[in-house]
Structure 1
Amino acid sequence: MSPVNESLFEFPCDFPIKVMGKAHPDFADTVASVVRQFDASFDATRVETRPSSGGNYVGLTVTVRAISREQLDDIYRALTGHPMVKVVL
């Protein structure tokens, strides 16, 4: 019996990650530097930014070049563990 591949993705692939946190002038740069630890080719100029209606929070969509499930898990762990980040989807 062959092993079952549980991944729904074919790697490498571009993978969008949504990151939300309190509005702060350094939020996007901070998230970009966390992501860059795991994806050296990450292009911070492609980050999409959406402020909340009240302006207190900001949502970012960062697209990484995912090479493995483990890499994505590491990025998610690093982002969710960062004090500026409230939610990662």
Structure 2
Amino acid sequence: MSEVKPPKIEFPCPDYPVKVVGKNTEDFQDFVVEVMLLHVPDLDVSRITIRDSKKGTYRSVRMLITATGEDQLKSLHEQLIASDRVHIVL
């Protein structure tokens, strides 16, 4: 039997989606963007989309970035998830 392997990402990868979910606080979006800019200096903030959960408890911030490599994605994920404000990074 041959194993099906997931497709390998080729870097740089334009329009790589990143979704960050956390408590819906007044400055959650600003916090996420601030961290993103450390790892993605050319982040196009005009392409950020925000959605609140049905009850308004949580907020998701979705961005499309140009991923430059696995190290960038790993460090971005680690820094975001290290915050007690972020519940999940997809």
State if a TM-score over 0.5 links the two structures: yes
* Unmatched segments (≥5 aa) in structure 2: 1-6
Q: Which runs of 4+ in 1 moved over 3 A?
A: none
The answer to whether residue 26 in structure 2 is matched with residue 33 in structure 1 is: no
Q: How many residues align?
A: 83
Query: How far 1:84 moved relative to its partner?
Result: 1.3
1:63 corresponds to which residue? 64
Aligned-partner SS, 1:28: helix
Cα deviation per residue 1:6-45 (whole Å; 9 max; x = unaligned)?
x711111121111101111111111001011011001222
2:78 corresponds to which residue? 77
Q: Which amino acid aligns with 1:44?
A: V
Over the residues paired in the alignment, what is the CA RMSD in angstroms?
Answer: 1.3
Output the CA distance in 1 between the equivalents of 2:84 and 2:34.
Answer: 14
Output the CA distance in 1 between the equivalents of 2:19 and 2:44.
Answer: 15
State the TM-score, normalized to the length of structure 1: 0.86
Aligned-partner SS, 2:55: coil
State the TM-score, normalized to the length of structure 2: 0.85
2:51 corresponds to which residue? 50
Aligned-partner SS, 1:37: helix
